[in-house]
Chains A and B, each alone.
Chain A
């Protein structure tokens, strides 16, 4: 119990004193995760929509696969991305290993199936509502996709937040591909893992509370921006 108390105190002082390292790590966490989530949204949302409206032979298989990929173990993703990006790997020439970019790549791989799957669920529902009207009005395929994306934006926001939640708290993959190098690729989660293994529980907890606070702040901020739960049913 005393460790949690010490952790709270440590977190308090870290934040109040605007500790330079803490600010740096926090900003890197945000930068990596937000970039990854934005890229994953750009990939996952159209993919989910497309899967909802397009009929093709292996559609069910692809959807089942996508749902299975939601539970992709981050450590394995990290390992595979590591092997791809490491100096001797096929993409080694890009010199990306142990950089924030590599961490973003790993997180995009982890988060895209999640976002695509939630987007697919949401769009499928609204598509069954809109289907007849959009066909009747001769909407083209791109117009259909755009309409569905627009009108399911609240659900898509939830998808993005779920993606953010998964990415910001992720350790396994970014530890492997980022290497947890001080001032280069250290983020909140990898710093917590390090401090814990050093037995530095107060600092680890302090960082942990900052991480939780960050996640809550981003969620609240986005909800405020999106004005969720305010305008009627959507």
Chain B
């Protein structure tokens, strides 16, 4: 099976009511690892991820996958900042993507049980998903994304509002997925988390890719003053 990567983005932007939210962005995404998208609030992290995933309408430029677009869309997944909880049980939430693909219900549920166990929700399969706590809901969303066995996984601040323990659990799951070959692109506010996980960093500033570098280089000697200030914890507007 040929990879959907590399992805090559040239001059892509997202506009809303005439105002440019993101872009124009030039970006290449290939290889392995975890790309962390950082930047101040309103820099366009969420919109960039949504554009790459095809959720936000791109209003200029081009995005080229290594496979036809339909293929590329089938093989990526997205975890939202506020997870979408289907009004179903935990098990049926996780099984849902497989059901959409036409997998038989029984088989889909067996797989869902497997993934629920991997993210630590094994004891809650029959519960309605709406009663889960914030951390559990995020794990549910993660399992529902991973059950598609995506080549490319987008996460939009998956650990915002979570306590340390839930954060560590989710980071462990992500690291495992990465080692199994899933390419991850994650937006985060949390600089500590970025240091722990990143293999490379995209620093967004005012809707543009302000700096892109390998993680070590980015954190040790950022090239731009804004990135340096952001890493230092100064307020970047």
B130 CB contacts on chain A under 8 angstroms = 232-234
Which 5 pairs from chain A and chain B are nearest by CB? A133-B84, A232-B128, A136-B78, A151-B87, A234-B87
How close is A74's CB to chain B, nearest CB, in angstroms? Answer: 35
A218 within 8 A of partner (CB): no
Dominant secondary structure of chain A at its interface with chain B: helix
* Chain B contact surface mostly: mixed
What residues of chain A have their CB less than 8 Å away from a CB belonging to chain B?
126, 129-130, 132-133, 135-139, 143, 147, 151-152, 231-234
Verify A151–B84 contact, CB threshold 8 A. no
- Residue interface mask B50-85, A partner, CB < 8 A = 1: 000101000000000000000001100110100011
Residues B84 and A129 in contact, CB atoms below 8 Å apart: yes
Q: Is the CB of B131 within 8 A of A232?
A: yes
B217 contacts A by Cβ under 8 Å: no
- Minimum distance in angstroms from A149 CB to a CB of chain B: 12
Q: How far is the CA of A233 from the CA of B198 in the complex (A)?
A: 39
The smallest C-beta distance from A146 to any residue of chain B, in angstroms, reads: 10
Say yes or no: is B205 at the interface (Cβ < 8 Å to chain A).
Answer: no
In the complex formed, the residue of B with least CB distance to A138 is B73
Taking A137-B100, A138-B74, A233-B130 as contacts, is the C-beta distance between A132 and B87 under 8 angstroms?
A: no
Residues of A within 8 A of B97 (CB): 137
A180 to B53, CA, bound (A): 62
Kindly list chain B residues whose C-beta atoms are within 8 Å of the C-beta of A129: 84-85
Q: A139: which B residues are within 8 A, CB to CB?
A: 100
Residues of A within 8 Å of B131, CB to CB, are 232-233
B218: Cβ under 8 A from any A Cβ: no
What residue of chain A has the Cβ atom nearest to residue B148's Cβ? Answer: A137
Which of B55, B78, B100, B148: most chain A Cβ within 10 A? B100
B53 with A136: CB separation less than 8 A: yes
* Nearest CB of B to A154, in Å: 9
Given A130-B86, A132-B84, A133-B84, answer yes or no on A234-B74 (Cβ-Cβ < 8 Å).
no
CA distance A232 to B55 in the complex (A): 31
Q: Contact check, B86 vs A151: say whether CB atoms are below 8 A apart.
A: yes
CB distance from A170 to the nearest CB of B (A): 33
* Residue B96 lies at the interface, judged by CB distance under 8 Å to chain A: yes
B105 at interface, CB cutoff 8 A = no
Residues of B within 8 A of A138 (CB): 73-74, 100
Across the interface, do B84 and A233 meet the contact criterion of CB distance under 8 Å?
Answer: no
B168 at the A interface (CB under 8 A) = no
Known: A132-B55, A133-B86. 19 other contacts (CB 8 A): A129-B84, A130-B86, A132-B78, A132-B84, A133-B80, A133-B84, A135-B55, A136-B55, A137-B100, A138-B74, A138-B100, A139-B100, A151-B86, A151-B88, A231-B128, A232-B130, A233-B128, A234-B128, A234-B130
A143 near B78: Cβ-Cβ < 8 Å = no
